[in-house]
Structure 1
Amino acid sequence: MNYTLNQLRIFLKIVEKQSITKASEELHLTQPAVSIQLKNFQNQFPIPLTEVVGRQLFVTDFGSEIASAAKRILKEVDSINYKLLAYQGELAGRLKISVVSTGKYVMPYFLSDFVRENPGVDLVMDVTNKSRVVETLEENQVDFALVSVLPQHLNLNKVSLMKNVLQLVGNPKYFEKVKLGKSVFSKDTPLIFREKGSATRAAMESYLTKRSITVGKKIELTSNEAVKQAVIAGLGCSIMPLIGVHRELKNGELRIIPSKSLPIITTWNLVWLKNKKLSPVSNALLDYLGTNKEEIMKTHFQWLDSY
């Protein structure tokens, strides 16, 4: 056999995406190039790695076994590269962080200079909802997670990064058509929610329950971006983290609707399991944040103080 590391990486991506087209997009390669590499890799085995039923690609049992072996091989190759860099005096390794969806507006600013200053560090950042973030922590799949609501059932260490401000927002033109009463929460104003498992959804529901507010009509969407676009389009209002709608507030597409007991303020925390043995890269990030987080907040997020 004479397969290459590049073929292993391409095959793993095909297995992950269950699609040559999606794999080629992620790898920034043409679809024919990925197909050719898959064919060359397949030619080295007498048993099929994949099969196509209809127009859907499926990985065979044998292909799944080969993918697991490929993953182990590539992990060892990465380990060799990191060890080489370490012997040369560079910080090297993989940093895996799970981030709740709104956190994508936060975490990159706390990582950019660190990653740029340490080219031997490979960053893997998974952006998902809170339920999945908690799952990755429980299963020790990541080094850190960024959350605004701490999971109480886990024994965690944390570094508090910055505040998370949530306000009720709507499209100004929407209120030219809908007359507000004493409260925006009425049968005439649909309220747009994130899906169950979202920290923003939990914060909204807690706020409404504590104040015995009954919502006339609920709309549920599965991402912050979808909620934002729906509010801009005048589909309804939503309680949203300002970190994700700053530009729209600034240019007038959205405005904050004054309401009692708002804003809701939580804290963005970088958390990790207390019993986790941190890698040199993880410890270096914590040292970096301890030194630089105040300056990062001042440079990029001082505008939050005006709300």
Structure 2
Amino acid sequence: MNYTLHQLQVFLKVSETKSITKAAEELYLTQPAVSIQLKNFQEQFDIPLTEVVGRQLYVTEFGQEIARAAENILNEVHAINYKTMAFKGQLSGKLKITSVSTGKYVIPYLLADFMKLHSEVELMLDVTNKNRVVKSLERNEVDFALVSVLPDMNIQNIPLMENQLVLVANRNFDKPKRPLTLDEIQQLPLIYREPGSGSRHVMERFLEQQNIKITKKMELTSNEAVKQAIIAGLGCSIMPVIGIKNELQNGDLQIIPAEGLPQFSQWNLIWLKSKNLSPAAEAFKNYLLENKSTIIQTHFGWATQL
């Protein structure tokens, strides 16, 4: 057999994504390039690694075994590179973080200066919904997770800052001179995030605590979709302030005062108590403990002045 590390990398990504198209996107390759590498890799085995049923690609049982072996080989290669860097006195390794979707407005600022200081650290960042974040932690697939609602798990955490949620409407909404009453909120068409979202959790907790029954509602799967729906006049929503800075500044959205609002949750960086942090992960944790106040004040001080 004469397979290359590149072929192992391509096959592993195909096995993870179950798609040549998605593998090509994540590897920054063309689809034909991935297909050729997959074909060349397959030719070295008498047993099929993948099969196509309908239009869906599946990894065979044998292919899954080879994928696990490929992952182990690539991990060993990465370990050699990291040890070389460590011997030269440079911090290196992989830093794996997952974040709930609204956290995309927070996590880049927590990472930016750290990554500049340690250019040999390889960052793997996944921004997704809360349910997938929790699963990634449970499976020990990541070092840290950024969440606004703490999961019921055996974790450690670094509290970061308040996550302020407010009632948001578009520029055409007649802003009242006094806060909306609970009865008035009940009459609004409200736009929800999808089940499992931290923002939806806080919103539903508020509505339940105030015994507000919403009859006109819409459900969307991202903060960006919710913002565009509000701007278009489809309704209002209870949203995190940090995700609407630009829209507030240009006047597309406005905060509507209302009884019981704003609501608050807390941004936290969390990790499993049982997790043995890598040198890169330990360095990031210590960096954040030392610098979080400065980062938050510099980049999010505006949110406390609304």
Q: TM-score, normalised by structure 2?
A: 0.93
Aligned to 1:42: 42
Say if 2:98 and 2:133, in contact at 8 Å, map to a contact too. Answer: yes
CA shift at 1:277, angstroms? 2.4
Equivalent residue for 1:230? 229
SS in 2 for 1:185: helix
* Amino acid across the alignment from 1:253: D
**In 2, Cα distance between the equivalents of 1:65 and 1:175?**
61
Q: How does 1:210-249 map to 2 (within 5 A)?
A: 210-249=209-248
- Secondary structure of the corresponding residue to residue 2 of structure 1: coil
Tell me, which stretches of 5 or more residues in structure 1 are unaligned? none
Partner of 2:102: 102
Match of 1:185 in 2: 185
Aligned residue-pair number: 302
Q: Which stretch of the first structure deviates more once superposed, 118-127 or 245-254?
A: 118-127
TM-superposition CA deviations, 1:244-273 (whole Å, max 9, x none) = 111111111111111012111222111122
1:292 alignment partner in structure 2: 291
Report what 2:258 is aligned to: 259
Task: Tell me the equivalent position of 2:25.
Answer: 25
Alpha-carbon distance, 1:2 to partner = 0.7
Distance 1:8 1:85 in 2: 23
Structure 1 partner of 2:155: 156
The CA deviation string for residues 108-133 of structure 1, in whole angstroms up to 9 with x for no partner, is 11011111211221111221222222
Are positions 1:138 and 2:132 aligned together?
Answer: no
The sequence identity of aligned pairs, in percent, is 60
| Residue in 2 that maps onto 1:89 | 89
Which letter does structure 2 place at the counterpart of 1:137? L
Distance in structure 2 (CA, Å) of the matches to 1:229 and 1:184: 23
Per-residue CA shift, 1:12-65, capped at 9, x if unaligned?
111222221222122221121111111111111122222223333222222222
The one-letter code matched in structure 2 to 1:88 is K
Kept in 2: contact 1:185–1:216 (CA 8 A)? no
- Unmatched segments (≥5 aa) in structure 2: none
Mapped partners of 2:209, 2:21: distance in 1: 48
Contact in 2 for aligned 1:94/1:122 (Cα 8 Å): yes
Amino acid at match of 1:267: Q
Tell me the distance in 2 between the aligned counterparts of 1:181 and 1:228: 21
The answer (yes or no) to whether the contact 2:170–2:231 under 8 Å persists in 1 is yes
**What is the Cα deviation at residue 174 of structure 1?**
4.9
Alpha-carbon distance in structure 2 between the residues aligned to 1:98 and 1:27 = 19
Cα deviation for residue 207 of structure 1 reads: 0.7
Q: Deviations over 1:82-129 (max 9, x none)?
A: 111111111111111121111111011101111121122111122122
**Could you tell me how far apart the structure 2 residues matched to 1:138 and 1:49 are?**
28
SS at match of 2:140: coil
> SS state of the match for residue 134, structure 2?
helix
Letter matched to residue 94 of structure 1:
K
1:239 alignment partner, SS class: strand
